[in-house]
């Protein structure tokens, strides 16, 4: 996974168009969900290597988002589900940029195809170098929101 800061920014930037801050939070939580689910399966449930890869597929994202949305209040649940799913799908796209020698850590088409897909733009050992770029993007988003007067205190 790229660091969660990169995932956060990847959801936060398009999130500027989301007016409801509750939904924005769910979009951001949605982008963390695939890694939270995967790490939970590895570290807490002690699952095998490939058990958790399902969390990094479109079907897995939809299912985990549905489970997560059940913990949201009923009036917000439907929109919350779409936000969580959108966040999860952003996560998958961001994970595709890593270069794992063509093997891919994201298997978007499970259960129809177990093949990994990757764009291979950045060495996984170097994703920390994205942090300054992320910080600049975050500053730009916060400034833009302040300008537009959409920041609620």
Partner 1 sequence: MFGNKGYGWKLLAGLAVVALLGVYASKQGDEINPSLWRVLAEPRRWDGTTVWIPEAWLVSAGAQEYEIVRAESRLRVKGPPPGPVGSRITLRAVFRGDAPRLEALEARVLPWSNRRRRAMEIVSVLVLLGVTLNLLRHFAFRPQALHVAERIGT
Residue ranges in contact with partner 1 by CB under 8 A: 1-5, 8, 21-22, 25, 28-29, 32, 41, 47-54, 57, 59-60, 63-64, 66-67, 69-70, 74, 77-78, 81, 100-103, 107, 110-111, 114-116, 125-128, 131, 152-153
**Count of alpha carbons within 13 Å of 115, Cβ hemisphere only?**
4
In which residue are the tokens 């969580």 written?
Answer: 84
CA distance 66 to 22: 17
Q: Shortest Cβ distance from residue 93 to partner 1 (Å)?
A: 18
What interhelical angle do 21-39 and 58-69 show, nearest 10?
120
Q: Whose Cβ is closer to partner 1: residue 14's or residue 111's?
A: 111
Q: Shortest Cβ distance from residue 61 to partner 1 (Å)?
A: 11
């Amino acid at each position: 996974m790229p660091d969660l800061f990169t995932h956060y920014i990847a959801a936060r930037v398009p999130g500027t168009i989301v007016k409801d801050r509750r939904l924005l939070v769910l979009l951001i939580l949605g982008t963390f969900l695939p890694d939270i689910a995967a790490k939970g399966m590895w570290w807490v449930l002690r699952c095998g290597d490939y058990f958790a890869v399902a969390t990094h597929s479109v079907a897995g994202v939809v299912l985990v988002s549905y489970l997560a949305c059940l913990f949201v209040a009923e009036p917000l649940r439907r929109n919350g589900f779409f936000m969580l799913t959108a966040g999860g799908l952003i996560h998958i796209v961001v994970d595709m940029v890593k270069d794992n020698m063509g093997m891919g850590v994201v298997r978007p088409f499970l259960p129809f195809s177990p093949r990994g897909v990757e764009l291979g733009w950045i060495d996984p050992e170097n994703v920390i170098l994205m942090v300054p770029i992320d910080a600049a993007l975050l500053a730009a988003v916060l400034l833009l929101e302040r300008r537009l007067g959409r920041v609620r205190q």
